[in-house]
Structure 1
Amino acid sequence: MNAQFDVIKKKRIQMTIILLVMLLIVFGAKVLTDFSFMEGLASIPGTVFWMFTNLIPTAEAMENFPKVMERLWETIILSILATTTAGIFALFFALFGSKTTKINGLLALLSRVIASVFRNIPVVAWALVLVISFGHNVVTGYFALFFTTFGFLVRAFMETIDEASTDSVEALNATGATYFQMVFRGVIPDTLPQMLSWVFFMIDTNIRSATLVGLLTGTGIGYIFDLYYKRLDYPTVGLITLSIIVVVIVIELISNKVRRMIL
């Protein structure tokens, strides 16, 4: 009883320390940036009023709807293509890096390091770096999404394999199965539904990220958003924003339904 009480007391002390550290970080950030919470709250009503006044699509803005949908479709296709191809490459690296299916320690370490590098560089940084090499085109946007998606999916796939495949892998190894038999008869069937769920999650994420990438690479819906924003054509900007929101919600609903079916 006393031991259990000591554990609870220790956890409370740890949570209190974490909370105090977080409060100190927030206060320090406020001081360094000279940010005022009250001024921020006071500006919200004016911001909302401006949005509803200027970002409502007009009849003139609706004339640009075909252009908006064309660019939005380009963004959707780019996101799906980057995610699916990154998922294929991520599967192989995850198999090499997983503790359950690794071939040797050196290859596993190399796979984890590569995935960590790609995962920890933001998509914006990738876009800026790749623009220098490939210029402002769809290829730049594709690789920016591909690299970040690849890094994330390798980590997600490795954790999925380690959590779901231990029993089946041990059973196959006990029967003398080869490495490829172990992978295709044990690992893939057990983990494929969860892996597909991660792929659909990244498609949702990449559609939103592709908008930001398009601002930097001059492609997709991000390009046309930047174009009309610089023209101060706020009704068309509002139309673009609403179109993005609707598409993201629809795709998220579809992907959620598919994930429920496969899991």
Structure 2
Amino acid sequence: MNEQIMRKRRWSATIFLIIIIVVTYLSTQITNFNTLHGIAAVPAAMGWIVSNLFITQESLEQLPEILMQLNETIFMSIAATTTAAVVSIFLGLMGSKTTKVNGLLSGLSRLVASASRNIPVVAWALILLLSFGQNSVTGYLALFVGTVGFLTRAFIESIDEASPSSVEALTATGATYFQIVSKAVVPQSLPQMISWILFMIETNIRSATLVGILTGTGIGYIFDLYYKTMDYNTVALITFSIVIAVIIIELMSNSIRKVIL
């Protein structure tokens, strides 16, 4: 019996690998991508990076401005994530099978989550740019909308994974909906929710850099500014600052996860 299961798994893995190879080949043919040419271009690209993207004494003079814009980007990402989390908790409770009030609200919350999640943050930035112009509000709203979709989906799954026994026990005692949510559902789901919020803060800091290029705000704006003026030394310093900031925030997030999970 075990041998048959292993044979079936090997066949499934083989078929899946063949499908991946075929899809990859078709993709390269449709897009006219030359794999060998791409591989051959790697040494030249690495050489250009080494010879141009390095930090100099002159670029270090721009560090105060870079740090100020980086702080703006980080705090905008945190603000967008935390406010989106509040909305997502409500939508998650309405959309979950465990805590839904009725089918209409459940379907509506899942629809909102799906619509906002499946449109990329960059696309949201371009859409909102037409209405709000190039400012920090546009960047904040783009991150907010995208985060609502992702967190709502994540919160629905976290709530659905909560143990139904405590919910059933409180329901049997005649507890109200809010008592069930606050005493049974949220305590079980809260660690996972916090973990997802921390993950989205990390993700939004990366996304905010690209959004800033479009909206003319934050670290993305000065990255685009110095890149267009071909000041690659300052671009290298900006890139290094972003990488260090993301690593520090990721280490902090991992430490918090170890405590709560």
Q: TM-score, normalised by structure 2?
A: 0.97
Aligned match for 1:237, one of 224, 235, 240: 235
The whole-number CA distance in structure 1 between the counterparts of 2:168 and 2:54 is: 60
1:68 aligned counterpart, secondary structure? helix
The whole-number CA distance in structure 1 between the counterparts of 2:201 and 2:212 is: 16
Aligned match for 2:106, one of 108, 112, 122: 108
Structure 1 unaligned runs (5+)?
none
Deviation at 1:167, TM superposition (A): 2.1
Q: Aligned runs of 1:145-224 on 2, under 5 Å? A: 145-224=143-222
Compute the RMSD of aligned alpha carbons: 1.2
Q: Is the 8 Å Cα contact of residues 97 and 158 (structure 1) preserved in structure 2? A: yes
Aligned match for 1:44, one of 42, 51, 76: 42
The whole-number CA distance in structure 2 between the counterparts of 1:109 and 1:35 is: 42
The whole-number CA distance in structure 1 between the counterparts of 2:235 and 2:256 is: 32
What is the aligned partner in structure 2 of residue 262 from structure 1?
A: 260
Q: Is the 8 Å Cα contact of residues 55 and 238 (structure 1) preserved in structure 2? A: yes
The letter of the residue matching 1:16 is T
Deviation at 1:98, TM superposition (A): 0.2
The letter of the residue matching 1:103 is V
Q: TM-score, normalised by structure 1?
A: 0.96
The whole-number CA distance in structure 2 between the counterparts of 1:92 and 1:202 is: 17
The letter of the residue matching 1:128 is L
The letter of the residue matching 2:116 is F
For residues 104-146 of structure 1, the C-alpha deviation after alignment (integer angstroms, 9 at most, x for no partner) is 1111111111111111000011011000010000010001100
Q: Is the 8 Å Cα contact of residues 102 and 108 (structure 1) preserved in structure 2? A: yes
Deviation at 1:30, TM superposition (A): 1.0
Deviation at 1:6, TM superposition (A): 4.2
Deviation at 1:42, TM superposition (A): 1.7
Alignment identity in percent? 57
2:161 aligned counterpart, secondary structure? helix
Deviation at 1:10, TM superposition (A): 3.5
Deviation at 1:92, TM superposition (A): 0.3
Deviates more, 1:226-235 or 1:171-180: 171-180
Structure 2 unaligned runs (5+)?
none
The letter of the residue matching 1:27 is Y
The letter of the residue matching 1:216 is L
The letter of the residue matching 1:92 is F
The whole-number CA distance in structure 2 between the counterparts of 1:151 and 1:12 is: 37
Report how many aligned residue pairs link the two structures.
261
The letter of the residue matching 2:80 is A
What is the aligned partner in structure 1 of residue 27 from structure 2?
A: 29
